Amino acid sequence: MIKSYRFLSAVLFCMAAIPVQAANAADRQYPLADQGTLQLSVPTSWRDQIEKDSEQLLASIVFVPTSGAPFGIVLNPIWPAKKDSPRPDSGALKRLVQRAADEIKPQTVEQTIEIVEVEAASGTGYYFSVTDRSPSPQYKYLTQGVLPVGLFAVAFTIYTNDGQQEVVNETLTMLKSATISGGKAD
């Protein structure tokens, strides 16, 4: 589907999977180098893995189920270039999501991709959901977007199959209440 899809599919395929029952959630913290800490209320039935870039900075947080039907969630925190940078602009976030939807459209079943607005604690974000025209053995659906979290933005990608809309709902709930504390951007 997208460039990262092949890589992430391999990572997620190697990890165990389960249906989400996240009536229970636990607060988890993810250090963002010297930028602070991303705090999420994560369903207890999800397992996380941290992927780091070549400079050993946090590049991605990957969530998979602890057992059951597979799904995959990838979060990419994006921090401001400067301490004085303004909060992510809603219009810029929407354009970013629209551009991603336009790029992926030739590979989807949908003729028109709807950009959905979502209100988070830190402002307005956007996402879209599509069906892969030629699904891999693992995932049929892709939901992708960006939400503001404090002065940061968190890009997210959710890979699911039939009957897993709750995974998307729980991811959005988790991200809407996410916070950043400490660090240079605080």
- Arithmetic mean of pLDDT, 175-179: 94
Neighbours of 49 (CB within 10 A): 14
Note whether 61 and 72 are within 8 A (CB). Answer: no
Which is higher by pLDDT, 159 or 184? 159
pLDDT tens by residue, 53-74: 766 556 799 999 999 899 999 9
- Tell me how far apart the alpha carbons of residues 38 and 28 are, in angstroms, rounded to a whole number: 8
- Tell me how far apart the alpha carbons of residues 38 and 66 are, in angstroms, rounded to a whole number: 22
Among 109, 14, 28, 24, smallest CA distance to 70 is for: 14
Global confidence as pTM: 0.82
147: tokens are: 């939400």
Domain ranges of the chain: 3-181
- CATH entry, 3-181, from 2.60.120.1690, 3.40.605.10, 3.20.20.70, 1.10.10.10: 2.60.120.1690
